[in-house]
Chains A and B, each alone.
Chain A
Amino acid sequence: MSQNSNRLEELIKEHQNALYRAALSVTGNPQDAEDAVQDGYLKYLERRPRVPDGRSARAWLMRVTLNAALDRLRDKKRHPTEELLDVHPAPDPGTGELLEAIGELPPAERAAVHLFYYEGYQTGEIAKILGRRPGTVRSDLSRARERLREKLKGEIEL
């Protein structure tokens, strides 16, 4: 097996779940999420980026995967037909309400929320991943939090 194949398999093993969850969070559709993850790894194979460590590789893959996910939404111009909660049901009503509220955010805000709350990236890192400025990301996060609070009426802790 070649060195490149080994490297690809390592990257798949290390990051595919994180990338799939991020893409799923943005698209809300398992099939679109899978396709976006595949697009991300394809770009890795095509471009062979210099990513010195695991965190850098993850950020690079996250960037191209989320761009692919956002492109898929842009292509459809509407929410996916297959709902996330149909395939992965929420364990309780509160989680379901939270996911529905997040799903109603604009995609770019969903991406920022996911990277901040789930992946734990700082706004500067999120800006690099999403190709935006830190101020824009902070604005997106602030607006998203405000919308979620309004939607959930304080019933669920953010």
Chain B
Amino acid sequence: MKRYVNYLDGIEAPEGLTARLTNLKSERRIRPAYLYRTAGIAAALALAVGLGVLWRHAPADPVADHDGSEHYTPDIGIIVTDDPLLGDPHSDRREGYEILDGEHATYYTLPRLNIADASGLSDTAMDYTLCPLDGYERDLVENDLVSLFGTDRYREHLGIPEDAEISGAVYFTPEGTASGLGLYWTEGDMFRVRYEVLRGYDVPSCPVMISPDDDYGVTEVDGVRVTTLAFENETEVKLFVDGFGYKATIYGEGRDELAARFVRLVLASRAGLDGIE
């Protein structure tokens, strides 16, 4: 990277910038356009919630499992009730998460997650990685995701755009049983999600081991304990279901919504690695 260093060493801040900085007056700060937009979205969302503005929805078709059986039916739309944890699926009161640029979307029932703020933490936070395994790995293929989530509409339910590139790996035991999966996708340059699924959770340094000492936000959803932690630029959500540990690390805007989508999809599909070979 010596070329990179030499190149940048030859660049000086423009003279005009020094004058701009020297004349700065904090009380005359001009808010950039994106703050207005963000504030507008937040205000619109708050207003929608306050007025009980609700979206109608159309129920989705039943989804066939990889073995051909119907195992869950996603309900497209978000249910809002006074219950802070989970909406009543029979309620007519609905709201939706608002996505960027004024677009609205309706999703199936999403839990409201209690997310602990960890932006003040730094290098004291735990460092996770997929467990080292005495097995082998291969690249993730689309059928793995269909098997994992039980639907070929996983993009829709996870909020992954059709043109987003998905990559990842599946980890196997020496006997050939899928033991873990890492899923990674990007949206443009800015948005990234990393999902990790691991069979069992009694492995040392497991990526989804939840330390009782950590000050996580905890939400009980469908009887499952979901823990969440928000760093300044990323949100981490973890849960255990049926002997599998799930962890999602989400970066960029809309993180909380995607965390809720992830939890709902895992719980709705009872996603596991058994269908992955």
Interface residues of A (CB under 8 A from B): 8-9, 12, 16-17, 19-21, 24-25, 30, 34-35, 37-39, 41-42, 45-46, 70-75, 77-79, 88, 90-92, 94-95, 98-99, 102, 106-108, 113, 117-118, 124, 127-128, 130-136, 139, 156-158
Contact = CB atoms under 8 A, between A and B. Distances in A.
Contact of B18 (A12, A78, A113, A131): A12
Given A131-B232, A132-B234, 10 more contacts: A9-B22, A42-B26, A70-B190, A77-B188, A108-B233, A113-B1, A131-B119, A131-B233, A133-B234, A139-B129
Nearest to A9: B22
Contacts of B37: 75
A74 B253 contact: yes
B123 interface: yes
7 contacts: A16-B21, A25-B8, A77-B188, A88-B7, A131-B231, A132-B233, A135-B128
- Interface size band for B: 35 or more
Interface string B48-85: 00000000000000000000000000000000000000
Given A41-B24, A127-B123, A128-B123, A73 B1 contact: no
Contacts of A71: 32, 34
Nearest to B5: A118
A16 B13 contact: yes
**Interface secondary structure of B, over-half rule:** loop
Interface of B: 1-8, 10-14, 16-18, 20-22, 24-26, 29, 32-34, 37, 119, 122-123, 125-129, 186, 188-190, 192, 231-234, 249, 251-253
B233 A130 contact: yes
Nearest to B118: A133
Given A17-B13, A73-B189, A74-B34, A45 B24 contact: yes
Given A73-B190, A74-B252, A131-B233, A98 B4 contact: yes
- Smallest CB-CB A-B distances: 9 pairs: A131-B232, A45-B26, A135-B127, A20-B13, A75-B34, A117-B1, A124-B123, A95-B3, A131-B233
